[in-house]
Structure 1
Amino acid sequence: MQTLYPEQLNQYLERSGVPPVLLLFGDDLLLRMDAIDSIRQHFGQDAEKYHWIQSKDFDWKQLSELEQSMSLFGSNTLIELELPENKPGKEGSNALHSYASQLPENHTLVVIGSYLKKEHQNSRWFKSLSQHGPLIRTQSPDKGRLPAFIHKRAQKYQLQLANGVPELLSDWFEGNLLALDQELRKWQLLSDSGIITQDFLTDASSDSSRFNVFALQESIQAGNYKEALHRLTRLLDEENDFHRFAWILQREVQLLTTLKNSGNNLDVSAVFRRNMIWSNQQPGYMKRAESLSIDALHQLHYLIERLEMALKQDSGESPLILTVHLLGLLCQQGTNHLNTTEYLNTFSQPFQTEHSFISL
């Protein structure tokens, strides 16, 4: 079985043409989208295209029916079949095996899935299909290859990355290349010179943070409890997902804990890079970490656990109330954050000073 990586796919298709089967597997959404786009471009506008996603009630007869039907709109047919769990089931396995044994002329089947395990490769359906086309692995590059990938991706948008920027972006976007690509598209519009420096990133991050959940993080970093509550209210007015707030708060707590427990062997600068903390913010973080007591950190972790239970397991506690408590502790306002009704009066459930409140 031939194995390709996304950057090799275009050259393969130009040299060999589109095979009857392509196996597209990997966890990185951006690389998967790139590969699918490349395949579609090689088919052109006149081909018939189908995109199916396997579900519980998926009708596998579609595959055999399509084999037997004649093309009405073009000479070539592209079938994209997504397997969300890489497991087509017994019926699907039989259908794919049958398809591979009688490949229809001028048809290409692209099977799309997530991370490919050994058990998937050893399955009958996979072995049958892999005899008729290559496997394209859409896994994110490892940390050592990531700066080179980012540099090349920036060139796609006519951007030049200054020294140190690819490594910095590697720390920020490892495991989330789709977010990286979205930022590069935005910077292409924002940058006059096309040169992306660390100063440019600082300014761009500051501008964009006013319009997303990271504005809440700014208020926490500044210890401005009143502003944090105001921004929380505005964000919830926009119907943002509460899980995003939980992620921001968990990230803050974990970073403060790491800094609090830092020893001589900790590379603090690397910790700040991984967490996208700018140099002008770093002294504030160090000061906050030093001033927080161990008991306060324990209380923060306890509240984070309860917030996760409320969001994921419907524990019965209010995520809003728990978030308000967390903001108060993170902003180090002590018991001053009990008076929050005026900032949260848009919510149907008013803030309550219940028994779960933990103060310093």
Structure 2
Amino acid sequence: MAATLTAFRKQLATSDLKPAYLIAGAEHLLVIEAADALRTRAKDLGYLERDVLDVEPNFDWNRLADSSRSMSLFATRKLIDLRLPTGRPGKEGSAAIAEFCASPPPDTVLLVSANDWSSKHTGAWSTAIERVGAAVIAWPLKREELPDWITARANSRGLKMSTEAVALLADRVEGNLLAAAQEIDKLALLHAGQVLDVAALEASVADDARYDVFRLADAAIGGDAGRALHIVAGLRAEGEELIPLLGWMLTQLRLLLRLASASSVDAALRNERIWPQSREGLFRRAVKNADRAHWERCLEQAGRIDRIVKGRDELTPIYFTVGKLPDLTAWREANAWRELERLVAAIAAPRRAAKLIGG
């Protein structure tokens, strides 16, 4: 049975390391932080050598056995950091991991981390890890669990929050743990030693266009069309300008096009140096669900929105009403927001909403 994150952290703090660990889940922030905790503990215990193995297509699984046999002249303990983004090692990889676990080399720890997990991922290899070590699965938090998570994280940063402030922040971040973590870190710096109430939170929370467009892009790329469209509606209601918002969306679409055009998505993601690393899973999902042509059409749609806002679109109506000029500025703004909604839907659901932009 997989260990909980709480049990895992307690075990790290009270004993030596086991020969092997599996840390996996779609909640990337929790996976990253759990893996970082293990790396830090390993370093404290004298595991001074670390061998990072990134599993890509055509990965040579002999490298795992080679790494387990070799040891630096300057280190007595070693951590093998095996990064398995998909959580599926394949037949050869499963055999290699099981072989390691069948006879773990002394003074060596294997850490397998994965950015995806479900019951379909389990196999002989994960069972072998559990037999000699531990499996830690970071399941996405349920909505009712988020307030407790925010409270615990705030307390760990020396920030005290009222129950109402916690509820408000949970509503603002809409389940995005990374956004919540970033906000808590900022609030801890601004309000250390104080009890943060709703009024102080509302005055401090980054709810401006720059913050919201990051949330918008991540929601759309991550496939959450409902949340992305909700953010668009909020931005429009607040009277935000479209051009600055569109700039970040264009940057992300160009990145998606480069990834979709690459022969190896894993290699391309490393070259792009996406930060924070937890966002890589969003882009993997997006390029898996749509081809290069789709992202080209999305870029064309973004260009069309830009032309509408600037009054250069060929469909801008040139007409007159009796006795007065039409409000073309208002028409262009309304049309631009409608076209942005279509773009966001197409990014989030390429197979269902592609026709909205001519796909």
Tell me, yes or no, if structure 1 residue 336 matches structure 2 residue 329. Answer: yes
1: distance between equivalents of 2:178 and 2:146?
13
Tell me, yes or no, if structure 1 residue 241 matches structure 2 residue 271. Answer: no
Tell me, yes or no, if structure 1 residue 220 matches structure 2 residue 231. Answer: no
1:336 Cα deviation from its structure 2 partner: 2.4
155 and 76 in structure 1: CA distance in 2 versus 1, 3 angstrom threshold: same
Q: What residue in structure 1 maps to residue 32 of structure 2?
A: 33
For structure 1, the residue ranges without an aligned partner over 5 or more in a row are: 245-307, 341-360
Q: Say if 1:22 and 1:136, in contact at 8 Å, map to a contact too.
A: yes
1: distance between equivalents of 2:177 and 2:153?
10
4+ residue segments displaced more than 6 Å: 215-219, 308-311
Q: Say if 2:212 and 2:235, in contact at 8 Å, map to a contact too.
A: no
Q: 2:21 corresponds to which letter in structure 1?
A: L
1:70 Cα deviation from its structure 2 partner: 3.3
1: distance between equivalents of 2:294 and 2:127?
38
1:94 Cα deviation from its structure 2 partner: 1.9
Deviations 1:239-287 (A, max 9, x none): 743599xxxxxxxxxxxxxxxxxxxxxxxxxxxxxxxxxxxxxxxxxxx
SS in 2 for 1:116: coil
**Residues 138-147 or 179-188, more deviating:** 138-147
**Residues 48-57 or 309-318, more deviating:** 309-318
Tell me, yes or no, if structure 1 residue 318 matches structure 2 residue 301. Answer: yes
Q: Say if 2:85 and 2:116, in contact at 8 Å, map to a contact too.
A: no
Deviations 1:280-300 (A, max 9, x none): xxxxxxxxxxxxxxxxxxxxx
Tell me, yes or no, if structure 1 residue 58 matches structure 2 residue 59. Answer: yes
1:137 Cα deviation from its structure 2 partner: 1.6
Q: What residue in structure 2 maps to residue 6 of structure 1?
A: 5
1: distance between equivalents of 2:102 and 2:291?
50
Q: 1:110 corresponds to which letter in structure 2?
A: L
Tell me, yes or no, if structure 1 residue 165 matches structure 2 residue 165. Answer: yes
SS in 2 for 1:128: helix
Q: Say if 1:229 and 1:324, in contact at 8 Å, map to a contact too.
A: no
SS in 1 for 2:163: coil
SS in 2 for 1:24: strand
Q: What residue in structure 1 maps to residue 125 of structure 2?
A: 125
Q: Say if 1:140 and 1:177, in contact at 8 Å, map to a contact too.
A: no
Q: Say if 1:83 and 1:113, in contact at 8 Å, map to a contact too.
A: yes
2: distance between equivalents of 1:143 and 1:219?
23
1:62 Cα deviation from its structure 2 partner: 1.2
TM-score by length of 1: 0.63
SS in 1 for 2:86: coil
322 and 133 in structure 1: CA distance in 2 versus 1, 3 angstrom threshold: same
Q: Say if 1:310 and 1:318, in contact at 8 Å, map to a contact too.
A: no
312 and 188 in structure 1: CA distance in 2 versus 1, 3 angstrom threshold: farther
Deviations 1:148-201 (A, max 9, x none): 121111001111111312222223335421221111111112226532222222
138 and 334 in structure 1: CA distance in 2 versus 1, 3 angstrom threshold: farther
210 and 74 in structure 1: CA distance in 2 versus 1, 3 angstrom threshold: same
Q: Say if 1:6 and 1:34, in contact at 8 Å, map to a contact too.
A: no
TM-score by length of 2: 0.63
**Residues 11-20 or 180-189, more deviating:** 11-20
SS in 2 for 1:4: coil
1: distance between equivalents of 2:112 and 2:145?
27
1: distance between equivalents of 2:301 and 2:115?
35
157 and 324 in structure 1: CA distance in 2 versus 1, 3 angstrom threshold: farther
Within a 5 Å distance, the mapping from 1:169-248 to structure 2 comes to 169-191=169-191, 194-205=194-205, 209=208, 211-212=210-211, 214=213, 220-223=236-239, 228-229=241-242, 231-232=244-245, 235=247, 240-241=251-252
2: distance between equivalents of 1:131 and 1:50?
23
Q: Say if 1:243 and 1:311, in contact at 8 Å, map to a contact too.
A: no
Structure showing the higher helix proportion among its residues: 2
SS in 1 for 2:143: coil
